[in-house]
């Protein structure tokens, strides 16, 4: 089988856009986000494979892929990696494709784990201006972030990707969101070369309607699904964000911005302690609204997540990692 590839990066960097584009390719199948994959690869052989099989056929996210999996479909799987391979094979077969990819931005934090599981895999790291990313995180009904936590997330995830590039230079491709919007054809030709598929002009055709597989939950996250990218929105953060927000983002992300060539808009000031305290307090309320949104629109996902982590003895190790 052809080795998989992973589209990763800080959330709100354009990974969904790239996933939708590449899914138009005649050979590529990329399912919806699949955070459960990390748990199965993390547990390795510490739990019986029968337990993993019992759990994976009940995964809510696989149902969101449009798949129904039964235990007998997994009979020939002998490792956790084999299980993950198999469910993606089934997704490929359903869609008539031959290469599987993954688009789960937070996989950027698990590069070593994925590379160990799939030594020949490749990573496409999508990078976007932190001010645009934070602006999007703030305006997302699901993420409920703010300038402080959005900056922290961008810094952490982008630097994870830069480290991945340094460790695996031949297997990691950095793609600028800005290039994907302003020069899509050349950018996509480079991506196709990287994952060793022929460029197909059809992938440039913009879908006119929202993808059917996107539920109410996902449509809340990606409200512009199905709309053509607007180059004029690249600098929307300049008018959407306040001066104080921009200054905070640029001060917290200064070193990484400089490394990537993102110029500050003006001389920034160090964040005020009282303002940071306010943003931390604000994030608590934002998290509660996130939780409410999940309970309202994705209750079964929460149930599956807790059940899996309890069965795999991962719940308490993960409890302090619940963040965006």
How confident is the model over 2-51, as pLDDT tens digits? 789 999 999 999 999 999 999 999 999 999 999 999 999 999 999 999 99
Q: What is the value of pTM for the model shown?
A: 0.92
Domain around 156: 5-321
24: domain CATH number is 3.40.50.300
Contacts of 278 (CB under 8 A, 6+ apart): none
Distance from C-alpha of 229 to C-alpha of 155, rounded to nearest angstrom: 25
Neighbours of 129 (CB within 10 A): 22
Distance from C-alpha of 227 to C-alpha of 235, rounded to nearest angstrom: 18
pLDDT-derived band at 211 (thresholds 50, 70, 90) equals low
What pLDDT score was predicted for residue 209? 41
Distance from C-alpha of 27 to C-alpha of 150, rounded to nearest angstrom: 35
pLDDT-derived band at 174 (thresholds 50, 70, 90) equals very high
Say if CB 269 and CB 169 are below 8 A apart.
no
What pLDDT score was predicted for residue 318? 58
Which range in 214-223, 225-234, 260-269 is most confidently predicted, on average pLDDT?
260-269
What pLDDT score was predicted for residue 207? 64
Whether pLDDT at 54 is above 90: yes
pLDDT average, residue stretch 43-70: 96
Whether pLDDT at 140 is above 90: no
Which range in 123-127, 248-252, 267-271 is most confidently predicted, on average pLDDT?
123-127
Q: Assign residue 261 a region: left if phi > 0, alpha if psi is -120 to 50, beta otherwise?
A: left
Mean pLDDT of the chain: 91
**Domain count along the chain:** 1
How confident is the model over 93-107, as pLDDT tens digits? 999 999 999 999 999
How confident is the model over 292-314, as pLDDT tens digits? 888 888 999 999 999 999 999 99
Say if CB 171 and CB 126 are below 8 A apart.
no
Say if CB 150 and CB 10 are below 8 A apart.
no
pLDDT average, residue stretch 72-86: 97
């Amino acid at each position: 089988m052809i080795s998989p590839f992973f589209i990763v990066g800080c959330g709100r960097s354009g990974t969904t856009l790239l996933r939708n584009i590449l899914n138009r390719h005649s050979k590529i199948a990329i399912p919806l986000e699949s955070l459960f994959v990390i748990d199965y690869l993390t547990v390795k052989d510490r739990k019986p494979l029968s337990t993993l099989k019992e759990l994976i056929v009940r995964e809510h996210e696989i149902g969101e892929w449009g798949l129904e999996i039964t235990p007998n479909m997994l009979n020939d799987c002998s490792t956790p990696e084999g299980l993950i391979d198999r469910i993606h094979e089934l997704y490929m077969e359903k869609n008539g494709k031959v290469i599987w990819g993954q688009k789960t931005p937070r996989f950027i934090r698990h590069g070593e784990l994925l590379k160990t599981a799939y030594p020949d895999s490749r990573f496409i790291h999508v990078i976007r201006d932190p001010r645009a990313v934070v602006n999007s995180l703030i305006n997302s009904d699901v993420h409920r972030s703010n300038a402080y936590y959005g900056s922290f997330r961008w810094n952490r995830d982008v630097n994870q990707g830069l480290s991945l590039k340094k460790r695996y230079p031949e297997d990691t491709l950095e793609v600028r969101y800005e290039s994907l919007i302003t020069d899509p054809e050349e950018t996509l030709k480079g991506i196709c070369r990287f994952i060793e598929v022929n460029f197909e002009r059809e992938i440039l055709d913009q879908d006119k309607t929202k993808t059917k597989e996107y539920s109410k939950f996902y449509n809340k996250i990606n409200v512009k699904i199905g709309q053509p990218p607007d180059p004029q929105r690249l600098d929307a953060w300049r008018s959407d964000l306040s001066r104080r927000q921009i200054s905070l983002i640029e001060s917290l992300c200064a070193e990484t911005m400089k490394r990537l060539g993102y110029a500050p808009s003006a001389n920034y000031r160090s964040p005020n302690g009282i303002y940071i305290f306010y943003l931390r307090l604000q994030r608590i309320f934002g998290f509660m609204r996130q939780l409410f949104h999940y309970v309202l629109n994705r209750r079964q996902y929460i149930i599956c997540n807790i059940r899996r982590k309890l069965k795999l003895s991962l719940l308490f190790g993960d409890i302090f990692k619940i963040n965006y």
